[in-house]
Amino acid sequence: MDDERWERAAGTIAAAMEKAVEQGRRRRAKVERERAKARASATDYEPGIVTFIDVLGFRAMLSNRPAGEIHEIVLSLREFTTPEVEHFSRMKEVRLSSRAFAESVSDAVVRVRVFNTQHSDGAFFQELLDLLHIQIQCIDHGVFIRAGVAIGDVHVGVNGAGPVFGPAMVRAYDIESGEAIYPRIVVDDAAYEQFLSDVRLHNEDHDLDEEADYVNGLLRVGEDGTRFIDYLAASESEFDTFEGYIAFVGRHADPIRQNLSQVHKPRIRRKYVWLARYHNEVISNIRIRFESGELSATDLRTAFGKEATELLAELVVKH
């Protein structure tokens, strides 16, 4: 190869190397921009649905239960309340649809579901349904929880690494500690009103009436005007069979009876009396459905060997 051809070849190689170096520089610059954007976003508030959860009677547990048992309760609560971890290859996927994050300290858990996303997947309904499932799992382990749900500004970090703080977290804590009172998950009135008006909280494939029907199917308004998740009644649709649901209602009754039979301070006893009344209201509504013919007693008789009226009477909690 003559000198001229060598020079052309060397020039081509040098140009290719320069191009590769430039492409690499651009890629690194793009990554740095995305990281800088992520760091900037991580320091900002964003709109979120915040739930502050606490275990009922945890202080009493510290006095009368062994550390190993309390350890299992705390671990179970964390397991039930922690969403599955999602991994994303690109930054723009991080807020593709609503995501839930959780942070826990001792018996308290803070859940945050962000909803200012590219797609609206019914974040409010999704979070309430998750909370319903959390209550079902806790009850199956003999644990009752109390919580407050609020909507507002919160810091959670792009990938949920936290720390979690902000006005919405304060509001959720205030509801849990001062307004829930009983073992229930209370939804802030302002949060419910925002759900009705904020399309980011709706499923983009549903109109408002349809979305409201889904949400209202999970909620109940108590005698004191407080809106809370109607977990005992709403959980019926989460079981494959009605007999499975009735068995769950029976498991709900057991810890209530156990605690009512124990000596508690009046303030604590009132919480279990409230649970008993709520439980019995659900039983009464089931009985009405049998009496009206909406439900058939045949399956219950086959599954439990008892008439519906007898079985439901056994499920009532005296207080």
pLDDT tens digit sequence for 224-281: 999 999 999 999 999 999 999 999 999 999 999 998 998 778 888 999 999 999 999 9
Which backbone phi and psi does 119 adopt, to 5 degrees? -120, 140
Phi, psi (rounded to 5 degrees) for 198: -100, 110
- For residue 177, pLDDT over 70 is answered with yes
Phi-psi region of 228 (alpha: psi -120 to 50; beta: other; left: phi over 0): beta
Cis peptide before 163 (omega within 30 of 0): yes
CA 263 to chain centre: 32
Helical packing angle, 242-260 and 266-291, nearest 10°: 150
pTM: 0.80
**Chain segment 197-239, per-residue pLDDT in tens:** 999 999 999 999 999 999 999 999 998 999 999 999 999 999 9
Distance of CA 163 to the CA centre of its chain: 18
C-alpha neighbours within 13 Å on the C-beta side of residue 219:
20
Which carries the bigger pLDDT value, residue 304 or residue 317?
317
The structure tokens listed for 150 are: 């609020």
Q: Reply yes or no on whether the pLDDT at 30 is more than 70.
A: no
Per the structure block, which two tokens stand in for 148? 């407050």
Per-residue pLDDT at 9: 66
What is the Cα–Cα distance from 203 to 221, expressed in whole angstroms?
23
* 259's tokens: 């605690």
Of 300 and 315, more confident = 315
- Averaged pLDDT, 174-181: 94
For 18-25, what is the mean pLDDT? 70
Sheet holding 108-114, edge to edge: 99-105, 108-114, 46-55, 145-154, 185-187, 227-229, 219-221
Tokens in use for 107?
Answer: 């018996």
pLDDT more than 70, % of the chain: 81
**C-alpha dihedral sign at 173, 179, 180, 181:** positive
pLDDT tens, position by position, 142-171? 889 999 999 999 998 877 777 889 999 999
CA distance 225 to 187: 11
Q: Work out the pLDDT band at 88, boundaries 50, 70, 90.
A: very low
DSSP label at 239? S
For 221, phi and psi rounded to 5 degrees? -105, 120
